[in-house]
Homo-oligomer: A and B are copies of this chain.
Amino acid sequence: MSLLVVGTVAFDAIETPFGKTDKIIGGAATYASLSASYFTKNINLVGVVGDDFPQAMIKEFNNHGIKTEGLQIKQGEKSFFWSGKYHTDMNTRDTLDTQLNVLASFDPIIPDSYQDCEFLMLGNLMPKIQMQVMQRMKKRPKLIVMDTMNFWMEIAMEDLMENIKMVDVLTVNDAEARQLTNEYSLVKAAKKILSWGPKYLVIKKGEHGALLFHNNQVFFAPALPLEEVFDPTGAGDTFAGGFIGYLAHARDISFDSMKRGIIYGSAMASFCVEKFGTERIIGLTQEEVEERVQEFIDLVQFDITLV
């Protein structure tokens, strides 16, 4: 089924203990749509860039089955730019520079040809824009997954709460779940968030894996233990893209299907962090993806039969 991905398409400059990049392609919707493209070829992108954004990358999107009719190109303007530096533990980072540019006036127009999308991925963006997207869909998608971040909890909490009530799946990291609920225990935080409306909650714990909560059930997927985490930028978006991409492919939004989605998302995220930016996830083969999923199976599989 068709998938709509909304979010930033942008430039990043990244510094990690392993090196630094010049301006490279980044953005939540970039990572999410590329990641989803390994599971479904019916992806529609909504975002905004300036005329500094390379045509070659737009072609790359199209090659991955990602339609870009909804990617607005603002002539004479510049793309959103973020620059950050990671600490040794790779779990914390400092923002060095943020230039909103085209994002400051982003009006998320949904082309008519996108209106039949049944899966909606709302990448991290200003909550008001995420809301506009939901309001502009003539028919409510079958599944709405929304990602957000601590920044919006600080400056737009009321708007964010309105969104949370409307989505099916919320994805946040552990610190954000705690911030959102004032609960230290993730189990308590999850109960509180699910009571606000979402049927599913994904709590991303970086190198410590991800939890999926639904009613009183919980599922856990580890992160793959890697020799090096080279650059964590985009890992969360890549995870979300693999998750919803798998669900759109499977046409199944049951809890069991979501579990599989979490594993596919985790597998995609494990590729993402192996190189800078989108480098690793742009040219994967289906065989590589399946091999990686097999590594996740081997990582957690055990045979205890209780009577």
Interface residues of A (CB under 8 A from B): 88-89, 184-188, 205, 208-209, 211, 217-222, 225-229, 256, 259-260, 262-263, 290, 293-294, 297-300, 302-304, 306
Query: In whole angstroms, what is the CA distance A259 to B294 when docked?
Result: 17
Chain B residues contacting A184 (CB-CB under 8 Å) are: 88-89
Q: What are 27 A-B contacts with C-beta separation under 8 Å? A: A185-B226, A185-B227, A185-B228, A186-B225, A187-B225, A187-B227, A208-B209, A209-B209, A209-B222, A218-B225, A218-B299, A219-B299, A219-B302, A220-B222, A220-B225, A220-B299, A220-B300, A221-B300, A221-B302, A256-B302, A256-B303, A259-B302, A260-B304, A263-B304, A294-B306, A297-B304, A300-B300
Chain B residues contacting A294 (CB-CB under 8 Å) are: 306
Are B211 and A208 in contact, CB atoms less than 8 angstroms apart?
no
Tell me the dominant secondary structure on chain A's binding face.
mixed
A267 — nearest CB in chain B belongs to which residue?
Answer: B304
Chain B residues contacting A217 (CB-CB under 8 Å) are: 298
Query: In whole angstroms, what is the CA distance A205 to B208 when docked?
Result: 9
Across the interface, A290 reaches (CB within 8 A) one of B229, B290, B297, B306, namely B306
Query: In whole angstroms, what is the CA distance A260 to B301 when docked?
Result: 10
Chain B residues contacting A228 (CB-CB under 8 Å) are: 185
A213 — nearest CB in chain B belongs to which residue?
Answer: B225
Query: In whole angstroms, what is the CA distance A262 to B299 when docked?
Result: 13
Cβ of A123 to closest chain B Cβ, rounded Å: 25
Query: In whole angstroms, what is the CA distance A209 to B221 when docked?
Result: 11
Chain B residues contacting A188 (CB-CB under 8 Å) are: 227
Query: In whole angstroms, what is the CA distance A225 to B185 when docked?
Result: 9
Chain B residues contacting A302 (CB-CB under 8 Å) are: 219, 221, 256, 259-260, 262-263
